[in-house]
């Protein structure tokens, strides 16, 4: 099961849901940017422990320039996403913020098709449309 992408994707969804709930409670009385900083430090420490426990540290000399560029861009996008997410949580209900944040699923599908050449079937496009509509309906007041 641990070699199945679905297993890890479901765990990711569970932890993302917990992120919203824990973040909403944690950001009360704390600046959104500082809360994001604390979250980032915790993530760095946790990943360092995981890498150490699994003996997965590796040298950086074997990483290509292209990989460096896109990992840096991904890191910047992640950071901006987290800053925006915590500001949204500070201002709104977690049950409404998280679904809007998950419109990223729709954007990933679109970006995957247009920038990566991925193919989606009619069924896939229907799912993307339903995810988008569902996120909007959950966030609607």
User: 109-140 pLDDT, tens per residue?
Assistant: 999 999 999 999 999 999 999 999 999 999 98
User: 47-70 pLDDT, tens per residue?
Assistant: 999 999 999 999 999 999 999 999
2 — pLDDT class (breaks 50, 70, 90)? confident
* pLDDT at 1 exceeding the cut of 90: no
Using CA atoms in the order 76, 77, 82, 84, what is the torsion angle rounded to 10 degrees?
110
User: 68-110 pLDDT, tens per residue?
Assistant: 999 999 999 999 999 999 999 999 999 999 999 999 999 999 9
For residue 141, what pLDDT is reported?
81
Q: Are 35 and 26 in contact (CB under 8 A)?
A: yes
CA gap 73, 128 in Å, rounded? 25
B/e letters for 71-91, b = 16+ CB within 10 Å, e = fewer, are eeeeeeeeeeebbebbbbbbe
Spell out the domain ranges in the chain.
Answer: 1-94, 102-141
């Amino acid at each position: 099961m641990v070699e199945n992408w679905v297993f890890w994707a479901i765990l990711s969804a569970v932890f993302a849901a917990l992120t919203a709930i824990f973040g909403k409670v944690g950001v009360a009385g704390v600046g959104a940017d500082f809360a994001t900083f604390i979250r980032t430090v915790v993530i760095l420490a946790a990943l360092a422990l995981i890498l150490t426990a699994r003996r997965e540290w590796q040298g950086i000399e074997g990483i290509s320039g292209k990989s460096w560029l896109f990992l840096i861009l991904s890191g910047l996008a992640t950071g901006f996403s987290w800053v925006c997410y915590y500001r949204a949580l500070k201002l709104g209900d977690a049950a409404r913020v998280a679904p809007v944040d998950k419109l990223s699923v729709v954007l990933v599908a679109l970006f995957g098709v247009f920038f990566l050449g991925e193919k989606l079937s009619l069924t896939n496009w229907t799912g993307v449309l339903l995810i988008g509509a569902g996120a909007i309906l959950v966030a609607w007041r």
